[in-house]
Amino acid sequence: MSLTTIAVIAALKVIVFLGAVLTGCAWATWLERKLVGHFQHRMGPSYAGPYGLLQPIADAIKLIFKEDFMPDGAEKIMYTLAPMIAFIPALLSFAVIPFGDEVTIMGQQIDLVISDLNIGILFIFAVTSLGVYGIVLAGWSSGSKYSLLGGIRSSAQMISYEIAYGLSIIGVILVAGTLSMKELVVQQASFFDWFIFRQPVGFVLFVICAIAETNRAPFDLPEAESELVAGYHTEYSSMKFAMFFIGEYANMIAVACIATTIFLGGWQGPLFPPVVWFAIKVFLFMCFYVWLRATLPRFRYDQLMNFGWKALFPLALLNTMVTALLKTIG
């Protein structure tokens, strides 16, 4: 394979994946609104296109044409940078997620992953934890008290849950003996080899922490609309707001992809092609997100912290220790 071919394939993959993810984000908003609507005996979006399917496009057009507002008290540079800092890391994590097995297109063997890093999981954790800076800076630079409180809450929350989040997958890594995302999927070839069965505690911890990491209900304190109006993005409008918005959904999809890859057997499954299986699992995980949001009330700040440090963190440590012990003995 010549260098040119490799470069072209890599560029194509980036374009295709990025397009897929951004499209996914847009229609994840539709999915959420439609599902929550039905949970609540409403129709959800239904005017724009069949089943309201064109709603994301209408939203995008609306957001683009909104006035790009900046409060007087804002720190101009940080205020502009913050949405990008929140947005870009969310997309970066998709670089190492394997969407499917190898396929052959026009005689070329193509891996359905942009880059199969040998430390894939570490890369994801490193990159996604950068997103918190965007939120903190947004809260601080807006010059609004509600934003500030939202920013503070968010930083405290994300830092607290980062630890348990990281620890929750150490068990999997110990069992699998690899950090490569692709290798992890290969190890879950048969149904009962899925890490959700081999590491059930780890999976539960992972899901809880991931929801907290992505600031979703019932951990959506940073943007608790009934308390802080809209939290850190209260003062944002137009495309700057859209960046936060897409960033949040990209994070959700990223978490769904990671959960699928690490715990739910990745692209593997009978009958359908691998990419389809991957999409189905991610879709179901996203529905789970929405279901939680429609059902549960919100934690209080101090309870959230207590829960993170006094329940999740020790449990994650224990899980790691027990796994390590079993691994050494067995």
Partner 1 sequence: MTGQAEERRTLNLNMGPQHPATHGVLRVELELEGESVVKATPHIGYLHTGIEKTGESKLYYKVIPMTDRMDYLAPMSNNLGYCLAVEKLLGIQVPEKVKYARVCLTELTRLKSHLVWVGTHPFDLGAMSMGLYAFRERESIIDVYEAVAGQRMMSTYFRIGGLAEDLPGNFDKVVKKAISDIRQGLIDYNRLLTDNKIFRNRTIGVAKISAEDAINCGLTGPSLRACGVNYDVRKANPYTGYENFDFEIPLGQNGDVYDRYLVRMEEMRQSLRIVEQALDGMPEGPYRAHVPGVVLPPKEDVLSKMESLIFHFKIITEGFRPPRGAVYQAIESPKGELGFFISSDGTGKPHRMRVRPPSFVNLSALPKLIEGALVADVVAAIGSIDIVLGEVDR
Q: Which is nearer to partner 1, 66 or 298 (CB)?
A: 298
Bridge partners of 100, per DSSP, are: 112
Q: Which is nearer to partner 1, 145 or 327 (CB)?
A: 145
Q: How far apart are CA 45 and CA 103, in angstroms?
A: 37
Q: Report whether 59 contacts 29 (CB < 8 A).
A: yes
217 binds partner 1 (CB under 8 A): yes
Q: Report whether 116 contacts 182 (CB < 8 A).
A: yes
Instruction: Please identify, among the stretches 10-18, 40-48, 86-94, 115-123, the one whose residues bind partner 1 according to the rule CB under 8 A.
Output: 40-48
Q: How far apart are CA 31 and CA 214, in angstroms?
A: 17
Can you say how many angstroms the Cα of residue 325 is from the centroid of all Cα atoms in its chain? 31
Q: Which is nearer to partner 1, 148 or 254 (CB)?
A: 148
297 binds partner 1 (CB under 8 A): yes
Contacting partner 1 (CB under 8 A), which of 42, 62, 310, 327? 42
Instruction: Please identify, among the stretches 3-11, 64-72, 215-223, 245-253, the one whose residues bind partner 1 according to the rule CB under 8 A.
Output: 215-223
Report the run of H or E that residue 242 belongs to, with start and end: helix 238-263
Q: Which is nearer to partner 1, 153 or 233 (CB)?
A: 153
38 binds partner 1 (CB under 8 A): no
Amino acid, res. 316: A
Contacting partner 1 (CB under 8 A), which of 79, 195, 263, 299? 299
Q: Which is nearer to partner 1, 2 or 226 (CB)?
A: 226
In whole angstroms, the minimum distance from the beta carbon of 244 to partner 1 comes to 19
Gyration radius (Cα) of the chain, Å: 20
Q: Which is nearer to partner 1, 129 or 237 (CB)?
A: 237
Number of Cβ within a 10 Å radius of residue 295: 10
The three-state secondary structure class of 200 is helix
Contacting partner 1 (CB under 8 A), which of 40, 104, 190, 328? 40
295 binds partner 1 (CB under 8 A): yes
Q: Which is nearer to partner 1, 179 or 298 (CB)?
A: 298
Tell me the site size for partner 1, rule CB under 8 A.
32
Q: Report whether 43 contacts 33 (CB < 8 A).
A: no
122 binds partner 1 (CB under 8 A): no
Q: How far apart are CA 174 and CA 320, in angstroms?
A: 8
Q: Report whether 14 contacts 20 (CB < 8 A).
A: no
Contacts to partner 1 from residues 70-89, by CB under 8 A: 73
In whole angstroms, the minimum distance from the beta carbon of 4 to partner 1 comes to 53
Closest CA to 149 of 224, 211, 236: 224
Going residue by residue from 219 to 238, which x/- string records binding to partner 1, judged by CB under 8 A? -xx--xxxxxx---------
218 binds partner 1 (CB under 8 A): yes
Q: How far apart are CA 198 and CA 193, in angstroms?
A: 7
Identify the sign of the CA torsion 75, 80, 82, 85: negative
Note the residues at the interface with partner 1 (CB under 8 A): 36, 39-42, 73, 143, 145-146, 149, 153, 217-218, 220-221, 224-229, 293-303
